[in-house]
Amino acid sequence: MSGDFVTNTAKPFPGDVLEDMGSMQNYNDWIVSQFSTKLGGRAAEIGAGLGTISERLRPFVDRLDLIEPTLALAEQLREKFADDDHCIVAEQTLESWMETTSDGIYDAVVMVNVLEHIEDDRAAARGLFAAMKPGGKLLIFVPALPFLYSELDRIYGHFRRYQRKDLSNCIESAGFRIERLRYFDITGVFPWWLLNTVMGKTSVHPPFLTIYDKILVPPTRVMESILPPPLGKNLILIASKD
């Protein structure tokens, strides 16, 4: 693959936070629903964590390669998918994966809450482009709106929160054609701004996540399926290697 290298100085993402986020069934189902029609063949998920998204991706693809740099998380992934011969876990950083992966082998690559951890995101985009087959799909979910950047973002290892144009420029610079780029989760903007940006909270509150997931996510999902929001806590991007 390309010799471009990516610098990611972020610490391993805390497992307890991944567990809390993993309990948000409606939210995670909603994320994957944005990608499901673009999945198929051989796919890779970069930064698979505990497999919360992975297990939702698996029914849509023939083979799923899970790339996870943190030893403890990679071990849990292997245990979770131990009975699935077509789900392979690689304990690798993105840099290592870019160096060792052959060009043009993936039909889809998924990154959910990962690209913001990569300092040189344009080099990452070039590596992803090289790894994909012609017609392959790049499926990305990232935090949005720089004005929401908080101490919690910094602790999580986020180099940035994206504006639409910044994410678009990053992905197009690698040669991708963007099919869809839209905001996601308008309801989450105010709570994040108030609790994290203004009040400086540096941890998540599991009971709040449960309430948010059960009470607010379902109507927000319906609303945003009818009318794309003018802004949102996150961005969804679907791009193609034409």
Assign residue 144 the CATH number of its domain. 3.40.50.150
Average pLDDT for residues 46-51, to the nearest whole number?
96
- Report whether 101 contacts 131 (CB < 8 A): yes
Average pLDDT for residues 71-88, to the nearest whole number?
96
0.85 surpassed by pTM: yes
- Report whether 28 contacts 51 (CB < 8 A): no
- pLDDT above 60 (res 7): no
> Could you tell me if residue 2 is inside a domain?
no
- Model confidence at 49, pLDDT cuts 50, 70, 90, reads very high
> Could you tell me if residue 1 is inside a domain?
no
pLDDT at 166: 97
- pLDDT above 80 (res 87): yes
> Could you tell me if residue 134 is inside a domain?
yes
- Report whether 124 contacts 67 (CB < 8 A): no
Q: Give how many domains the chain has, as a whole number.
A: 1
- pLDDT above 60 (res 56): yes
pLDDT at 9: 39
> Could you tell me if residue 81 is inside a domain?
yes
Domain of residue 62: give its range: 15-240
Residue 113: burial class (beta carbons within 10 Å; 0-12, 13-18, 19+): buried
Q: Which has the closest alpha carbon to 10: 126, 116, 95, 110?
A: 116
- pLDDT above 90 (res 20): no
> Could you tell me if residue 3 is inside a domain?
no
- pLDDT above 60 (res 1): no
- Model confidence at 23, pLDDT cuts 50, 70, 90, reads confident
Is 17 or 43 the better-scoring residue by pLDDT? 43
